[in-house]
Structure 1
Amino acid sequence: MNTTATTFAEPRPTTAATPTVPGGAFPAYEPRIEVSAALGPRYDEILTPEALDFLAALHDRFAGIRHDRLAARLRNRVDAAQGRNPGFLAETAHIRADTSWRVAGAGPGLEDRRVEITGPTDRKMAINALNSGAKVWLADQEDATSPTWQNVIEGQLTLLDALSGQLHFTSTEGKEYAVTHDIAGPDTPTIVMRPRGWHLEEKHLRFRDRTGRTMNASGSLVDFGLYFFHNATRLIELGSGPYFYLPKLESHLEARLWNDIFVFAQAYIGIDRGTIRATVLIETIQAALEMEEILYELREHCAGLNAGRWDYIFSIIKAFRSRGRRFVLPDRKHITMTVPFMRAYTELLVSTCHRRGAYAIGGMSAFIPNRRDPEVTARALEQVAADKRREAADGFDGTWVAHPDLIPTARAEFDAAFRSGPQGATEQLHRTRDEVQVTAAQLLDIGWAGGQVTEAGVADNIGIALRYIESWLRGIGAVAIDNLMEDAATAEISRSQVWQWVNENTVTAEGRRIDAEWAHSVLAQVTAGLDRFDGDRFDDAIEVFTSVALEPEFPAFLTVGAYARYF
């Protein structure tokens, strides 16, 4: 039975020995976590008093630092908008120059990362991922998950059941789904969970600090905290460990915050320091310029870096959206991984990782197969093969796919590359890419992207963004649109390009000046052609898109305002 609860977590003593943690041993604390949302079946298995205690402890110690880090992001954005280009940090040059340090590297079960499948944590998608034959499942509570209260908590239940061998699902048509392999067996992917980014909140959990103020909980701390608290010990028993993908970092100080959280969390439940492994997504231009420092801050917990290509493109647009026409990018489809500024980014990532003993994981091609259309499938397999062949040749140790049917194609490209290395190799760490010398200017030289802005490109961006936002508002975070996999990152590219084109008075290849009036007319045309259905959220999606793409102010993330208003 669903109820509505308002619950405060009472502080409880931990059973772990009093450790040394950032800020010293565990002090007495008074904060509480309030739950004020509908409680579905079994939600109490996740929102236990002990788990809420842990969330309260995390917020008590780290919520303030999180706010400081977010304020620093804002200052950096203002600097970039005013003409200051980001660059490699002078104050951390000694870290980059010190050749002696290495990261912890792969934990148990992460030694082979040739193909990782990404996807949300609903039960059906989780079962498909665990049965896929991939080496890793990125259990995504971030860009591929719409952060409804139901998705947040039931995603945690999915992971809890998967690790206890109890995960199953019956569709509305009566079809049964179940994991076909032992959760600890060699054919089951290692789970790496991705929490929400630092900028996102969980408004259904309210934190009350020492002064009595209440505030929304951090989505990052909620997702990490609930998964870690309930599953860390079980994961170790299964032969792997609590592993995480860390999204949207913008500085090494944000990486330091995560490392401090890891140290505290391990001590809290009494497991060895260094048990956690983190893979950081390099998906902002700011993080690209601090890759080495990010590895250094997380070195006792770090397994590698990932080239999060779609958010990276979005971050480029966001950082330089008001800096003139030389920073204007062409139609989305023309921003490929072979344009010079994207090549500089990926080559720097591989060389940085391998110099420090970290795995370099490639990004996700957006092309997906269509089992009802062999021609579309053939084209997707061809595109994915070329993408993964390039990554493997560049020295990446593995890659992402978004669909199980793409796994054999991706694996074949990495198998071929690995055969040229040491016998039995499951990575390419020996390829240190010493010849790579990437400058900050190369990372910022986006004027060489090539391509054009077209009227069709404007309409495509508006249509993709609208259709994705509509699905996201209905609780679906990963959506196949026109045979491409769209998530929050690709929607961000679509809407931010429209904003930039309007505000830079960009002229299309056809000679049309993109101003607000014309963009609104294109929006009206796209809206008229939408396939409407009972219960759709297109009216809300149009409002969201208009506010984030066609208003003078540019919101840093479309999901923040939409979450606050509609969830």
Structure 2
Amino acid sequence: MSDHLGLELCPPPSDLKAEYETLFTSDCLHFLHQFISTFEGEVDQVLSLRVSKKAHLDQTGELPGFRQDTAHIRSDPNWTVPPVPPRLQKRHVDIGDLAPCDSQRFIKALQSPAQGIQVDFDDGNCPTFHNQIKGIHNVWKAVHNQFPNVPHISKAPILMLRPRAWNMVEHNMMVEGRQVPGPLFDFGLLMFHFGKTLFENKSGPFFYLSKVESFMEARLWNKIFVWTQHKLGLSVGTIKATVLIENVLAAFEMEEIVYELREHSAGLNCGIWDYSASFVNKFGHRKAFMLPDRSKYVNMEKRFLRSYMDLLVQTCHRRGALATGGMAALLLPHDTQSQAYKTVLDTVTRLKLLEIKAGVDGFMVYDLNLIKPMQKLFQMHTESENQLQQLRKDVVVTSTDLLSMPSGGVTLNGLRYNIAVGVLFINAWLSGKGHFFYRGQVEDSATAEISRSQVWQWIRHRTRLEDDGRVVNRQMVAALVTVVTLELSVSCSSDRAKQQLQTAADMFLEMVLKRDFPAFITTFLSEDLTFLNKFNPRRTNSPHSKL
């Protein structure tokens, strides 16, 4: 778009010029300019609300609770959400963390028997300009049935599109002289190109909404949906969205979040690691909220997490909305006859059966080989497409339940594990990847978030190791980062790879030693000069000739 229209877009990556031309048409750019201009100010407002809420909690020492000013919404038994479309009624097993820029995995997912695919531009994706263009274009190919040997979009697993969260910025587009919010860039492109086609094929448009912290943020998303549907000639309620409750503050406003979305609600989702990390984000400086070693003491059976899941199921089912659980990150060994295979399958089965018995209507897996065993598990323990009839009237969750930290300490093994995950995640980002594999499971920004959060918090509170009573401090962590990085470097294939791993280790150490807690690891990384210089074209380049 020409400068007088206020939109600037960086040139395409050299290997994606055709894909760029397909996506960034003149009509699309006009739409994006109007869309982003309409809502970027309100995105700033919700981010400011987060800052002011955090400052209030810090200054007063207060704890969150169920809001009094919205009690009438929670106490009104008469409102419900409309039933979701037929293709969303059965949500047993979705494939999670699927970055659509990974064409091979995306095709395999489309060929799989899963109910849905979390098409992930957020946690499992590294948002380079290349990855965003490649990923959105791959969605274009799927929606327009351009992939060979893949079912028609009306028959393939449903696409649950997950744009970036509010905190992320798209560095390669500017509107009115400002870089645009990442979620507006992603959502605008996805809806402009696929909204009508998905609707016509009774397969969408369906979304996951990441890292929502309050009902005011849900209200903004609802306004975005209404505006977009009007502009594209779609009826109100065409868009359906599942909100991921990944923040402790949002847990106290779940009913209000569903209420704000109403005709656009496809329910809520609960997951363990981003949610656990949010306690450090909001209360990490308070010793009462010291989160113990996650690998030893934190799981969905603990009071604070079990209460959160039970409340989420009760809230959704009371209002006729679907409740879904988190993602199984474990990977099945290739040898199906091995004891290791049986152990992994038994572990996943036990954890997911806990969610099914709590009343969830579905959950995610990363490993495609887990789809059929988990679908069979649902069939064995449920009687219909979903569990909406499980109203969970037995559940009574208090603020104390949601804020009760599990008991336990810190182990050297847990500290080393968190360091390794944090360093390897940053290393993955420096390689243009949003997830990686470590010790038999997939790791992404959610596990990196809890890992670096715990290390920061343990240093902050000078926690003692269970092993030998040593204090976790700057010197210990710096020494362990050096040792762990040296161990990880053994698998590096070149000196350049070793240098990159060392850069990742330096960035990790910088982050966990900061005086003030960086709110999101992804924001920290995406704004770092190392990332910007490596993956984003210089803003001084001339705009594309069409603009």
1:477 paired to 2:434: yes
Give structure 2 stretches of 5+ with no counterpart.
Answer: 533-547
**2:324 match: secondary structure:** strand
Q: Who is 1:4 aligned against? A: none
Higher helix share: 2
| CA RMSD, 1 decimal | 1.6
Alignment equivalent of 1:267, drawn from 220, 230, 233: 230
Determine whether 1:184 maps to 2:154: yes
Q: Secondary structure at the match of 1:298?
A: helix
1:124 is displaced (CA, Å) by: 1.1
Give the corresponding residue for 1:529: 487
Once the two structures are overlaid, the 10-residue window that deviates more, 527-536 or 338-347, is 527-536
- State the match for 1:335 in structure 2: 298
- Would the aligned equivalents of 1:103 and 1:357 in 2 still touch at CA under 8 Å? yes
Q: Secondary structure at the match of 1:280?
A: strand
* Residue equivalent to 1:285: 248
- Counterpart of 2:272, as a letter, is R
Q: Does 1:442 align with 2:394?
A: no
Spell out the pairing of 1:19-418 with structure 2 (5 A cutoff). Answer: 31-36=6-11, 38=13, 40-42=16-18, 43-82=20-59, 83-118=61-96, 119-121=98-100, 122-167=102-147, 178-185=148-155, 188-208=156-176, 214-371=177-334, 374-418=338-382
SS in 2 for 1:84: coil
**CA–CA distance in 1 between the matches of 2:367 and 2:296?**
20
> Residue 38 of structure 1: SS of its match in structure 2?
coil
3-state DSSP class of the match of 1:268? helix
Q: Alpha-carbon deviation of 1:107?
A: 2.1
Give % identity.
Answer: 37
Counterpart residue number, 2:462: 505
1:174 corresponds in structure 2 to: none
- The Cα shift of 1:36 comes to 4.8
Amino acid at match of 2:255: E
- Cα pair 1:9 1:34 within 8 Å, conserved: no
- Report the alpha carbon displacement of residue 96 of structure 1 after superposing the two structures with TM: 0.6
Shift of 1:182: 2.8
Aligned-residue offset at 1:76: 1.7
Shift of 1:116: 0.7
- Counterpart in the other structure of 2:386: 427
Deviations 1:55-108 (A, max 9, x none): 211221111111010011112222333421111111101111111111123124
Which of these residues, 488, 500, 506, is aligned with residue 543 of structure 1? Answer: 506
Aligned mates of 1:306, 1:333 — CA distance in 2: 24
> Deviation per CA, 1:113-155, whole angstroms, max 9, x where unpaired?
0111111112112111111210011101100000111110110
- Aligned partners of 1:245 and 1:281 also within 8 Å: yes
Aligned partners of 1:162, 1:142: CA distance in 2, in Å?
Answer: 19
**Amino acid aligned to 1:462:** I
Q: Equivalent residue of 2:124, what SS?
A: coil
Superposed displacement of residue 333, structure 1 = 4.1
Using the TM superposition, give the Cα deviation of residue 9 of structure 1 relative to its aligned residue in structure 2, in angstroms.
7.9
Task: Quote the Cα distance in structure 1 between the aligned partners of 2:464 and 2:356.
Answer: 38
Please tell me whether the aligned partners of residues 283 and 289 of structure 2 are also in contact (alpha carbons under 8 angstroms). no
Tell me if structure 1 keeps the 8 A contact 2:81–2:262.
yes
| Alignment deviations for residues 355-385 of structure 1 (CA, whole Å, 9 cap, x no partner) | 0000001111222213268443322211110
Partner residue of 1:459 out of 416, 419, 424: 416
One-letter code of the match for 2:331?
A: I
| Deviates further, 527-536 or 217-226 | 527-536
- AA aligned opposite 2:317: H
Q: Shift of residue 44 of structure 1?
A: 1.1
Please give the secondary structure, in 1, of the residue aligned with 2:329: coil
Q: Can you list the C-alpha shifts for 1:20-68, whole angstroms capped at 9, x where unaligned?
A: xxxxxxxxxx543433553623211111121122221122111111101
Higher mean Cα deviation, 121-130 or 538-547? 538-547
Give 1:540 deviation, angstroms: 2.4
Is the Cα–Cα contact under 8 Å of residues 195 and 246 in structure 1 kept in the other structure? yes
Amino acid at match of 1:38: P
Mark the runs of 5 or more structure 1 residues left unpaired by the alignment. Answer: 1-6, 11-29, 168-177, 209-213, 420-424
Deviation at 1:207, TM superposition (A): 1.1
Residue number in structure 2 paired with 1:17: none
- In structure 2, what is the equivalent of residue 14 of structure 1? none
Q: Distance in 2 between matches of 1:265 and 1:180?
A: 29
Q: Whole-Å Cα distance in 1 between the matches of residues 295 and 285 of structure 2?
A: 18
Displacement after TM superposition at 1:293 (Å): 0.3
Letter in 1 for 2:36: H
Q: TM-score, normalised by structure 2?
A: 0.92
CA contact (8 A) 1:364 1:399 kept: yes
Report the CA distance shift for 1:371/1:9 in structure 2 as closer, same or farther (over 3 A). farther
Is the contact between residue 225 and residue 239 of structure 2 (CA under 8 Å) also seen in structure 1?
Answer: yes
Cα distance in 2, alignment partners of residues 58 and 189 from structure 1: 29
CA distance in 2, matches of 1:316, 1:179: 45
Following TM superposition, by how much is the alpha carbon of 1:310 offset from its aligned partner in structure 2, in angstroms? 1.6
Deviation at 1:469, TM superposition (A): 1.3
The residue number in structure 2 matching 1:488 is 445
Structure 1 position 325, deviation (Å): 4.6
Secondary structure at the aligned position of 2:326 is classed as strand
C-alpha distance in 2, partners of 1:8/1:347? 52
Offset at 1:321? 0.7
